[in-house]
Structure 1
Amino acid sequence: MRVLVVEDDDRVAGALCTVLTRHGFVVRRACNGEQALSAGTDTDVVLLDLGLPDVDGFEVGERLRHLSDVPIIMVTARSEIADRLRGLSVGADDYLSKPYDLRELIARIHAVTRRASHAAVPAQRTGSVTFAGGIVLDFDTRTVRVEGREVLLTRKEFEVLAVLARSPGIAVRREQLMGAVWNTSWKGTERTLEVHVASLRAKLGVPEAIVTVRGVGYRVLA
Protein backbone atom coordinates (compact mmCIF):
# COMPACT_ATOMS: atom_id res chain seq x y z
CA MET A 1 0.00 0.00 0.00
CA ARG A 2 1.30 3.46 -0.94
CA VAL A 3 1.32 6.14 1.76
CA LEU A 4 2.08 9.83 1.26
CA VAL A 5 3.42 11.49 4.42
CA VAL A 6 2.89 15.25 4.31
CA GLU A 7 5.15 16.62 7.05
CA ASP A 8 7.61 19.54 7.06
CA ASP A 9 9.51 18.43 10.18
CA ASP A 10 12.42 16.25 9.00
CA ARG A 11 12.79 14.45 12.31
CA VAL A 12 9.11 13.58 12.62
CA ALA A 13 8.82 12.61 8.96
CA GLY A 14 11.95 10.47 9.05
CA ALA A 15 10.81 8.47 12.07
CA LEU A 16 7.31 7.98 10.68
CA CYS A 17 8.50 6.95 7.22
CA THR A 18 10.90 4.43 8.76
CA VAL A 19 8.20 2.80 10.88
CA LEU A 20 5.69 2.66 8.03
CA THR A 21 8.28 1.15 5.70
CA ARG A 22 9.02 -1.55 8.28
CA HIS A 23 5.32 -2.41 8.30
CA GLY A 24 5.31 -3.00 4.57
CA PHE A 25 4.05 0.35 3.27
CA VAL A 26 5.55 2.07 0.24
CA VAL A 27 6.19 5.55 1.61
CA ARG A 28 6.69 8.89 -0.09
CA ARG A 29 7.09 12.23 1.60
CA ALA A 30 5.92 15.72 0.77
CA CYS A 31 7.52 18.61 2.66
CA ASN A 32 4.87 21.22 1.90
CA GLY A 33 1.37 21.73 0.59
CA GLU A 34 2.25 22.17 -3.07
CA GLN A 35 4.18 18.90 -3.10
CA ALA A 36 1.22 17.22 -1.40
CA LEU A 37 -1.19 18.46 -4.05
CA SER A 38 1.12 17.20 -6.80
CA ALA A 39 1.63 13.75 -5.32
CA GLY A 40 -1.61 13.21 -3.40
CA THR A 41 -3.62 11.93 -6.35
CA ASP A 42 -1.14 9.11 -6.99
CA THR A 43 -1.20 7.26 -3.67
CA ASP A 44 -3.49 5.04 -1.61
CA VAL A 45 -3.70 7.21 1.51
CA VAL A 46 -2.47 10.64 2.61
CA LEU A 47 -1.23 11.42 6.12
CA LEU A 48 -1.60 15.20 6.26
CA ASP A 49 -0.05 17.49 8.85
CA LEU A 50 -1.77 20.86 9.20
CA GLY A 51 1.22 23.06 10.09
CA LEU A 52 2.76 23.34 6.64
CA PRO A 53 5.12 26.17 5.62
CA ASP A 54 3.40 27.28 2.42
CA VAL A 55 -0.30 26.34 2.37
CA ASP A 56 -2.58 25.80 5.35
CA GLY A 57 -3.20 22.08 5.86
CA PHE A 58 -6.98 22.55 5.84
CA GLU A 59 -6.75 24.19 2.43
CA VAL A 60 -4.52 21.38 1.18
CA GLY A 61 -7.06 18.82 2.37
CA GLU A 62 -9.96 20.63 0.74
CA ARG A 63 -8.14 21.13 -2.58
CA LEU A 64 -6.94 17.55 -2.57
CA ARG A 65 -10.46 16.29 -1.95
CA HIS A 66 -11.68 18.18 -5.02
CA LEU A 67 -8.93 16.55 -7.08
CA SER A 68 -9.28 13.00 -5.83
CA ASP A 69 -11.15 10.53 -3.62
CA VAL A 70 -7.90 9.39 -1.98
CA PRO A 71 -8.40 8.72 1.75
CA ILE A 72 -7.00 11.52 3.92
CA ILE A 73 -6.00 11.23 7.58
CA MET A 74 -5.11 14.53 9.21
CA VAL A 75 -2.27 13.87 11.67
CA THR A 76 -1.58 16.99 13.69
CA ALA A 77 -0.83 18.51 17.07
CA ARG A 78 -4.09 20.48 16.88
CA SER A 79 -6.48 18.63 19.16
CA GLU A 80 -9.32 21.13 19.62
CA ILE A 81 -12.77 19.87 18.66
CA ALA A 82 -13.20 22.85 16.32
CA ASP A 83 -10.14 21.77 14.36
CA ARG A 84 -11.36 18.16 14.22
CA LEU A 85 -14.74 19.22 12.90
CA ARG A 86 -13.19 21.58 10.37
CA GLY A 87 -10.87 18.85 9.13
CA LEU A 88 -13.71 16.39 8.66
CA SER A 89 -15.92 19.01 7.03
CA VAL A 90 -13.33 19.87 4.33
CA GLY A 91 -13.02 16.23 3.34
CA ALA A 92 -10.71 14.34 5.70
CA ASP A 93 -11.69 10.73 6.33
CA ASP A 94 -10.10 10.65 9.78
CA TYR A 95 -8.33 12.94 12.23
CA LEU A 96 -5.61 11.88 14.67
CA SER A 97 -3.99 14.18 17.22
CA LYS A 98 -0.33 14.04 18.18
CA PRO A 99 1.12 12.38 20.16
CA TYR A 100 -0.43 9.13 19.00
CA ASP A 101 0.29 5.42 19.20
CA LEU A 102 1.78 4.18 15.94
CA ARG A 103 -0.29 1.02 16.19
CA GLU A 104 -3.42 3.15 16.19
CA LEU A 105 -2.22 5.15 13.17
CA ILE A 106 -1.56 1.96 11.22
CA ALA A 107 -4.96 0.58 12.20
CA ARG A 108 -6.61 3.79 10.99
CA ILE A 109 -4.72 3.63 7.69
CA HIS A 110 -6.08 0.15 7.10
CA ALA A 111 -9.57 1.24 8.17
CA VAL A 112 -9.86 4.23 5.81
CA THR A 113 -8.45 2.35 2.84
CA ARG A 114 -10.77 -0.57 3.54
CA ARG A 115 -13.77 1.76 3.59
CA ALA A 116 -12.59 3.46 0.39
CA SER A 117 -12.36 0.12 -1.37
CA HIS A 118 -16.02 -0.57 -0.58
CA ALA A 119 -17.97 2.15 -2.34
CA ALA A 120 -20.34 3.60 0.20
CA VAL A 121 -22.97 4.25 -2.44
CA PRO A 122 -24.92 0.99 -2.67
CA ALA A 123 -24.35 -0.84 -5.94
CA GLN A 124 -28.00 -1.77 -6.34
CA ARG A 125 -28.95 1.85 -7.04
CA THR A 126 -27.93 3.20 -10.45
CA GLY A 127 -29.08 6.01 -12.69
CA SER A 128 -30.18 9.31 -11.19
CA VAL A 129 -32.79 10.67 -8.83
CA THR A 130 -34.37 14.13 -8.70
CA PHE A 131 -35.73 15.68 -5.54
CA ALA A 132 -36.77 19.01 -4.04
CA GLY A 133 -35.28 22.21 -5.38
CA GLY A 134 -34.24 20.78 -8.72
CA ILE A 135 -31.47 18.66 -7.18
CA VAL A 136 -30.33 15.78 -9.41
CA LEU A 137 -28.01 13.12 -8.03
CA ASP A 138 -26.40 10.72 -10.50
CA PHE A 139 -25.26 7.49 -8.85
CA ASP A 140 -23.23 6.38 -11.86
CA THR A 141 -21.12 9.51 -12.36
CA ARG A 142 -21.21 10.52 -8.67
CA THR A 143 -22.26 14.05 -9.56
CA VAL A 144 -24.87 16.39 -8.14
CA ARG A 145 -26.55 19.25 -10.00
CA VAL A 146 -28.93 21.94 -8.84
CA GLU A 147 -30.99 23.51 -11.62
CA GLY A 148 -28.33 22.34 -14.08
CA ARG A 149 -25.39 23.69 -12.07
CA GLU A 150 -22.89 21.09 -10.85
CA VAL A 151 -22.17 21.27 -7.12
CA LEU A 152 -18.78 20.02 -5.96
CA LEU A 153 -19.10 17.83 -2.87
CA THR A 154 -16.54 15.99 -0.81
CA ARG A 155 -16.70 12.19 -0.96
CA LYS A 156 -18.40 11.95 2.44
CA GLU A 157 -20.92 14.67 1.59
CA PHE A 158 -21.87 12.85 -1.59
CA GLU A 159 -22.23 9.56 0.26
CA VAL A 160 -24.50 11.09 2.91
CA LEU A 161 -26.70 12.60 0.22
CA ALA A 162 -26.66 9.37 -1.81
CA VAL A 163 -27.85 7.28 1.13
CA LEU A 164 -30.73 9.72 1.72
CA ALA A 165 -31.52 9.88 -2.01
CA ARG A 166 -32.00 6.13 -2.25
CA SER A 167 -35.42 6.62 -0.63
CA PRO A 168 -36.68 10.19 -1.17
CA GLY A 169 -39.27 11.20 1.41
CA ILE A 170 -38.37 8.41 3.84
CA ALA A 171 -36.48 9.17 7.06
CA VAL A 172 -33.09 7.50 7.42
CA ARG A 173 -31.92 6.89 10.97
CA ARG A 174 -28.68 8.51 12.10
CA GLU A 175 -27.28 5.07 12.92
CA GLN A 176 -27.95 3.91 9.37
CA LEU A 177 -26.19 6.94 7.90
CA MET A 178 -23.18 6.58 10.17
CA GLY A 179 -22.96 2.88 9.41
CA ALA A 180 -23.20 3.38 5.64
CA VAL A 181 -20.84 6.34 5.36
CA TRP A 182 -18.41 5.96 8.29
CA ASN A 183 -18.79 2.24 8.94
CA THR A 184 -19.57 2.91 12.59
CA SER A 185 -22.53 3.41 14.90
CA TRP A 186 -20.45 5.22 17.54
CA LYS A 187 -22.40 8.10 19.04
CA GLY A 188 -19.35 10.34 18.79
CA THR A 189 -19.80 10.38 15.02
CA GLU A 190 -23.18 12.14 15.27
CA ARG A 191 -21.58 15.59 15.45
CA THR A 192 -19.56 14.76 12.33
CA LEU A 193 -22.79 13.78 10.58
CA GLU A 194 -24.41 17.07 11.59
CA VAL A 195 -21.45 19.01 10.19
CA HIS A 196 -21.71 17.19 6.86
CA VAL A 197 -25.47 17.78 6.64
CA ALA A 198 -24.98 21.48 7.38
CA SER A 199 -22.29 21.70 4.71
CA LEU A 200 -24.56 19.92 2.21
CA ARG A 201 -27.41 22.33 2.85
CA ALA A 202 -25.10 25.29 2.32
CA LYS A 203 -23.52 23.96 -0.87
CA LEU A 204 -26.80 22.85 -2.44
CA GLY A 205 -28.39 26.20 -1.68
CA VAL A 206 -31.67 24.44 -0.95
CA PRO A 207 -31.52 23.94 2.84
CA GLU A 208 -35.12 22.79 3.04
CA ALA A 209 -34.37 19.81 0.77
CA ILE A 210 -32.79 17.90 3.68
CA VAL A 211 -35.22 17.67 6.57
CA THR A 212 -34.20 16.89 10.13
CA VAL A 213 -36.57 14.31 11.59
CA ARG A 214 -36.34 14.92 15.31
CA GLY A 215 -35.28 11.88 17.27
CA VAL A 216 -34.77 9.83 14.12
CA GLY A 217 -32.42 11.24 11.49
CA TYR A 218 -32.85 12.93 8.11
CA ARG A 219 -34.82 12.66 4.88
CA VAL A 220 -34.78 14.41 1.54
CA LEU A 221 -37.98 15.86 0.12
CA ALA A 222 -39.22 14.04 -2.94
Structure 2
Amino acid sequence: MTMQMQACAPEMSATILLVEDDRDIADMLAETLSQNGYTAVSAQSGAEMDRLLRRQAFDLVVLDVMLPGEDGFSICRRLRAEMRTPIIMLTAVATDVDRIVGLEFGADDYVTKPFNTRELLARIKSLLRRASYGSERPERPKTMSFAGWRIDPVSRTLLDDAGSQVFMTTAEFDLLVALCLNAGRVLTRDQLLALTHAGVAGPVERSVDVHISRIRQKIEPNPKEPSLIKTVRLGGYLFTPMVDAS
Protein backbone atom coordinates (compact mmCIF):
# COMPACT_ATOMS: atom_id res chain seq x y z
CA MET A 1 0.00 0.00 0.00
CA THR A 2 1.32 3.45 -0.94
CA MET A 3 0.42 6.09 1.60
CA GLN A 4 0.20 9.84 1.07
CA MET A 5 3.24 11.71 2.29
CA GLN A 6 3.14 14.80 4.43
CA ALA A 7 1.44 17.76 2.80
CA CYS A 8 3.16 21.12 2.61
CA ALA A 9 0.56 23.22 4.34
CA PRO A 10 1.00 26.33 6.48
CA GLU A 11 0.80 25.62 10.19
CA MET A 12 -2.64 27.09 10.81
CA SER A 13 -4.26 25.54 7.71
CA ALA A 14 -2.97 22.05 8.43
CA THR A 15 -5.09 18.98 7.84
CA ILE A 16 -5.05 16.58 10.79
CA LEU A 17 -6.12 12.93 10.80
CA LEU A 18 -7.78 11.76 14.02
CA VAL A 19 -7.70 7.99 14.51
CA GLU A 20 -10.03 7.53 17.48
CA ASP A 21 -12.83 4.98 17.93
CA ASP A 22 -14.63 6.91 20.67
CA ARG A 23 -17.06 9.02 18.64
CA ASP A 24 -17.62 11.57 21.41
CA ILE A 25 -13.87 12.21 21.79
CA ALA A 26 -13.37 12.31 18.02
CA ASP A 27 -16.22 14.81 17.53
CA MET A 28 -14.97 16.99 20.38
CA LEU A 29 -11.42 17.02 18.99
CA ALA A 30 -12.62 17.71 15.45
CA GLU A 31 -14.70 20.66 16.65
CA THR A 32 -11.82 22.03 18.76
CA LEU A 33 -9.37 21.75 15.86
CA SER A 34 -11.84 23.41 13.49
CA GLN A 35 -12.33 26.29 15.92
CA ASN A 36 -8.56 26.78 15.96
CA GLY A 37 -8.13 26.94 12.19
CA TYR A 38 -7.31 23.31 11.38
CA THR A 39 -9.09 20.84 9.13
CA ALA A 40 -9.84 17.57 10.95
CA VAL A 41 -10.73 14.23 9.37
CA SER A 42 -11.71 11.26 11.57
CA ALA A 43 -11.19 7.50 11.30
CA GLN A 44 -12.38 4.92 13.82
CA SER A 45 -9.97 2.10 12.93
CA GLY A 46 -6.70 1.33 11.19
CA ALA A 47 -8.56 0.05 8.13
CA GLU A 48 -10.58 3.27 7.82
CA MET A 49 -7.38 5.27 8.31
CA ASP A 50 -5.71 3.37 5.46
CA ARG A 51 -8.57 4.21 3.11
CA LEU A 52 -8.26 7.91 3.95
CA LEU A 53 -4.48 7.89 3.51
CA ARG A 54 -4.84 6.45 0.01
CA ARG A 55 -7.00 9.42 -0.98
CA GLN A 56 -5.58 12.38 0.92
CA ALA A 57 -2.39 13.82 2.40
CA PHE A 58 -2.26 14.85 6.06
CA ASP A 59 0.08 17.16 7.99
CA LEU A 60 -0.22 15.34 11.34
CA VAL A 61 -1.84 12.22 12.80
CA VAL A 62 -3.42 11.99 16.25
CA LEU A 63 -3.53 8.27 17.00
CA ASP A 64 -5.31 6.52 19.86
CA VAL A 65 -3.60 3.44 21.33
CA MET A 66 -6.74 1.40 22.10
CA LEU A 67 -8.50 0.74 18.81
CA PRO A 68 -10.67 -2.12 17.53
CA GLY A 69 -8.66 -4.62 15.52
CA GLU A 70 -5.12 -3.34 14.97
CA ASP A 71 -3.93 -1.33 17.97
CA GLY A 72 -2.31 2.08 17.87
CA PHE A 73 1.22 0.81 18.56
CA SER A 74 1.08 -1.50 15.55
CA ILE A 75 -0.42 1.24 13.38
CA CYS A 76 2.26 3.71 14.48
CA ARG A 77 5.07 1.32 13.60
CA ARG A 78 3.49 0.62 10.21
CA LEU A 79 2.97 4.31 9.43
CA ARG A 80 6.49 5.22 10.42
CA ALA A 81 7.94 2.67 8.01
CA GLU A 82 6.30 4.51 5.11
CA MET A 83 5.97 8.17 6.06
CA ARG A 84 7.51 10.87 8.23
CA THR A 85 4.31 12.79 9.03
CA PRO A 86 4.28 13.78 12.75
CA ILE A 87 2.35 11.38 15.00
CA ILE A 88 0.90 12.18 18.43
CA MET A 89 -0.35 9.16 20.36
CA LEU A 90 -3.27 9.26 22.79
CA THR A 91 -2.98 6.76 25.62
CA ALA A 92 -5.18 6.03 28.63
CA VAL A 93 -2.21 4.40 30.39
CA ALA A 94 -0.03 6.80 32.34
CA THR A 95 3.00 4.55 32.90
CA ASP A 96 6.39 5.48 31.45
CA VAL A 97 6.67 2.05 29.83
CA ASP A 98 3.63 2.53 27.60
CA ARG A 99 4.66 6.06 26.68
CA ILE A 100 8.16 4.94 25.76
CA VAL A 101 6.81 2.05 23.69
CA GLY A 102 4.90 4.57 21.58
CA LEU A 103 8.02 6.68 21.06
CA GLU A 104 10.09 3.60 20.22
CA PHE A 105 7.53 2.65 17.57
CA GLY A 106 8.00 6.05 15.94
CA ALA A 107 5.59 8.49 17.60
CA ASP A 108 6.83 12.06 17.96
CA ASP A 109 4.87 12.84 21.11
CA TYR A 110 2.14 11.49 23.35
CA VAL A 111 -0.76 12.80 25.41
CA THR A 112 -2.35 10.88 28.29
CA LYS A 113 -6.14 10.60 28.65
CA PRO A 114 -7.97 12.38 30.11
CA PHE A 115 -6.21 15.35 28.55
CA ASN A 116 -6.56 19.10 28.44
CA THR A 117 -7.48 20.17 24.91
CA ARG A 118 -5.24 23.23 25.24
CA GLU A 119 -2.29 20.96 25.95
CA LEU A 120 -3.04 18.83 22.90
CA LEU A 121 -3.39 21.96 20.74
CA ALA A 122 -0.06 23.24 22.04
CA ARG A 123 1.63 19.94 21.19
CA ILE A 124 0.06 19.90 17.72
CA LYS A 125 1.18 23.47 17.06
CA SER A 126 4.69 22.68 18.31
CA LEU A 127 5.06 19.62 16.09
CA LEU A 128 3.72 21.41 13.01
CA ARG A 129 6.10 24.30 13.65
CA ARG A 130 9.03 21.94 14.05
CA ALA A 131 8.07 19.96 10.93
CA SER A 132 8.26 23.13 8.83
CA TYR A 133 11.17 24.68 10.75
CA GLY A 134 13.87 23.89 8.19
CA SER A 135 12.33 26.01 5.44
CA GLU A 136 11.86 28.91 7.85
CA ARG A 137 15.56 29.19 8.69
CA PRO A 138 17.46 30.19 5.50
CA GLU A 139 20.59 30.93 7.53
CA ARG A 140 21.02 27.23 8.21
CA PRO A 141 23.43 25.27 6.00
CA LYS A 142 21.60 23.72 3.07
CA THR A 143 23.27 20.37 3.67
CA MET A 144 25.61 18.84 6.24
CA SER A 145 27.75 15.73 5.87
CA PHE A 146 29.21 13.49 8.58
CA ALA A 147 30.63 9.96 8.66
CA GLY A 148 29.20 9.09 5.24
CA TRP A 149 25.78 10.58 6.00
CA ARG A 150 24.20 13.64 4.38
CA ILE A 151 21.42 15.62 6.06
CA ASP A 152 19.42 18.46 4.49
CA PRO A 153 17.56 20.65 7.03
CA VAL A 154 15.56 22.37 4.27
CA SER A 155 14.13 19.30 2.54
CA ARG A 156 14.33 17.42 5.85
CA THR A 157 16.02 14.37 4.37
CA LEU A 158 18.76 12.07 5.65
CA LEU A 159 20.76 10.07 3.09
CA ASP A 160 23.22 7.25 3.72
CA ASP A 161 26.50 6.79 1.85
CA ALA A 162 24.65 5.02 -0.99
CA GLY A 163 22.26 7.92 -1.42
CA SER A 164 19.27 6.08 0.05
CA GLN A 165 16.87 8.05 2.22
CA VAL A 166 16.36 7.00 5.84
CA PHE A 167 12.99 7.92 7.34
CA MET A 168 13.03 9.79 10.64
CA THR A 169 10.34 11.19 12.87
CA THR A 170 10.07 14.96 13.28
CA ALA A 171 11.60 14.76 16.75
CA GLU A 172 14.45 12.50 15.60
CA PHE A 173 15.30 14.72 12.66
CA ASP A 174 15.28 17.90 14.75
CA LEU A 175 17.52 16.30 17.37
CA LEU A 176 20.01 15.11 14.74
CA VAL A 177 20.14 18.58 13.14
CA ALA A 178 20.73 20.13 16.57
CA LEU A 179 23.57 17.67 17.22
CA CYS A 180 25.14 18.35 13.81
CA LEU A 181 24.99 22.12 14.36
CA ASN A 182 26.71 21.65 17.72
CA ALA A 183 29.22 18.91 16.88
CA GLY A 184 31.96 18.54 19.48
CA ARG A 185 29.88 20.23 22.17
CA VAL A 186 28.15 18.49 25.06
CA LEU A 187 24.43 19.27 25.02
CA THR A 188 22.18 18.63 27.99
CA ARG A 189 18.67 17.28 27.54
CA ASP A 190 17.24 20.71 28.35
CA GLN A 191 19.48 22.31 25.71
CA LEU A 192 18.39 19.74 23.12
CA LEU A 193 14.74 20.44 23.91
CA ALA A 194 15.36 24.17 23.50
CA LEU A 195 17.33 23.73 20.26
CA THR A 196 14.57 21.63 18.74
CA HIS A 197 12.06 24.35 19.64
CA ALA A 198 9.97 21.92 21.60
CA GLY A 199 9.27 24.48 24.31
CA VAL A 200 6.79 23.60 27.02
CA ALA A 201 4.77 21.57 24.54
CA GLY A 202 7.61 19.27 23.62
CA PRO A 203 8.48 15.79 24.85
CA VAL A 204 9.52 15.36 28.46
CA GLU A 205 13.22 15.02 29.22
CA ARG A 206 13.01 11.22 29.39
CA SER A 207 11.74 11.17 25.81
CA VAL A 208 14.98 12.71 24.54
CA ASP A 209 16.79 9.52 25.55
CA VAL A 210 14.30 7.40 23.61
CA HIS A 211 14.65 9.53 20.48
CA ILE A 212 18.46 9.48 20.75
CA SER A 213 18.32 5.69 21.02
CA ARG A 214 16.24 5.51 17.83
CA ILE A 215 18.66 7.83 16.00
CA ARG A 216 21.53 5.59 17.04
CA GLN A 217 19.71 2.57 15.62
CA LYS A 218 19.64 4.36 12.27
CA ILE A 219 23.08 5.96 11.95
CA GLU A 220 25.51 4.17 14.27
CA PRO A 221 27.76 1.39 12.89
CA ASN A 222 27.14 -0.44 16.18
CA PRO A 223 24.19 1.02 18.13
CA LYS A 224 25.12 -1.04 21.21
CA GLU A 225 28.49 0.74 21.35
CA PRO A 226 27.70 4.18 19.90
CA SER A 227 30.61 6.14 18.49
CA LEU A 228 28.81 9.03 16.77
CA ILE A 229 26.51 10.10 19.62
CA LYS A 230 28.25 9.65 22.94
CA THR A 231 26.47 9.75 26.29
CA VAL A 232 28.26 12.04 28.73
CA ARG A 233 27.59 10.98 32.31
CA LEU A 234 25.73 13.71 34.23
CA GLY A 235 26.10 15.89 31.16
CA GLY A 236 24.05 14.92 28.15
CA TYR A 237 25.13 13.96 24.64
CA LEU A 238 28.18 14.66 22.50
CA PHE A 239 28.14 14.43 18.69
CA THR A 240 31.66 13.30 17.78
CA PRO A 241 31.97 13.32 13.94
CA MET A 242 33.40 16.17 11.92
CA VAL A 243 30.51 17.94 10.16
CA ASP A 244 31.00 19.55 6.76
CA ALA A 245 28.41 22.22 5.95
CA SER A 246 27.56 23.68 2.56
Question: Shorter-chain TM-score: what band?
Answer: 0.7 to 0.9
Distance between the aligned counterparts of 1:27 and 1:8, measured in 2?
Answer: 15
Quote the offset at 1:121 in angstroms: 9.7
Q: CA, structure 1 residues 34+146, in 2 after alignment: closer, same or farther (shift >3 Å)?
A: farther
Unaligned stretches of 5+ residues in structure 2: 1-12, 242-246
Aligned-partner SS, 2:213: helix
Q: In the alignment, is the contact (CA less than 8 A) between 2:63 and 2:90 conserved in 1?
A: yes
Quote the offset at 1:177 in angstroms: 1.4
Higher relative contact order, chain-length normalized (CA < 8 Å, sep 6+): 2
State the TM-score, normalized to the length of structure 1. 0.80
Tell me whether 1:27 sits opposite 2:43 in the alignment. Answer: no
Name the structure 2 match of 1:168. Answer: 183
Structure number with higher helix proportion: 1
Q: CA, structure 1 residues 201+106, in 2 after alignment: closer, same or farther (shift >3 Å)?
A: closer
Name the structure 2 match of 1:217. Answer: 236
Cα deviation 1:2-35 (Å, max 9, x = unaligned): 2221112334323433444444432211121133
Tell me whether 1:67 sits opposite 2:90 in the alignment. Answer: no
Distance between the aligned counterparts of 1:94 and 1:23, measured in 2?
Answer: 20
Cα deviation 1:117-159 (Å, max 9, x = unaligned): 323996422223123xxx4132255113157665433232222
Moved more, 62-71 or 74-83: 62-71
Moved more, 184-193 or 95-104: 184-193
Distance between the aligned counterparts of 1:210 and 1:179, measured in 2?
Answer: 18
Q: In the alignment, is the contact (CA less than 8 A) between 1:8 and 1:32 conserved in 2?
A: yes
Moved more, 194-203 or 14-23: 14-23
Percent identity of the aligned residues? 34
Distance between the aligned counterparts of 1:205 and 1:25, measured in 2?
Answer: 38
Distance between the aligned counterparts of 2:117 and 2:202, measured in 1?
Answer: 25
Q: In the alignment, is the contact (CA less than 8 A) between 1:175 and 1:185 conserved in 2?
A: no
Q: In the alignment, is the contact (CA less than 8 A) between 1:137 and 1:144 conserved in 2?
A: yes
Amino acid at match of 2:22: D
Distance between the aligned counterparts of 1:130 and 1:189, measured in 2?
Answer: 28
Work out which of the residue numbers 21, 27, 40 in structure 2 matches 1:8: 21
Amino acid at match of 1:102: T
Name the structure 1 match of 2:108. Answer: 93
Work out which of the residue numbers 206, 209, 213 in structure 2 matches 1:191: 206
Unaligned stretches of 5+ residues in structure 1: none
Written as runs of structure 1 = structure 2, the 5 A alignment for 1:17-166 is 17-39=30-52, 42-119=57-134, 123=138, 124-131=140-147, 135-139=148-152, 142-145=157-160, 151-166=166-181
Q: CA, structure 1 residues 148+4, in 2 after alignment: closer, same or farther (shift >3 Å)?
A: closer
Distance between the aligned counterparts of 2:161 and 2:106, measured in 1?
Answer: 21
Distance between the aligned counterparts of 1:29 and 1:71, measured in 2?
Answer: 16
Aligned-partner SS, 2:195: helix
Q: CA, structure 1 residues 217+180, in 2 after alignment: closer, same or farther (shift >3 Å)?
A: same
Q: CA, structure 1 residues 203+102, in 2 after alignment: closer, same or farther (shift >3 Å)?
A: same
* Number of residue pairs the alignment of both structures matches: 219
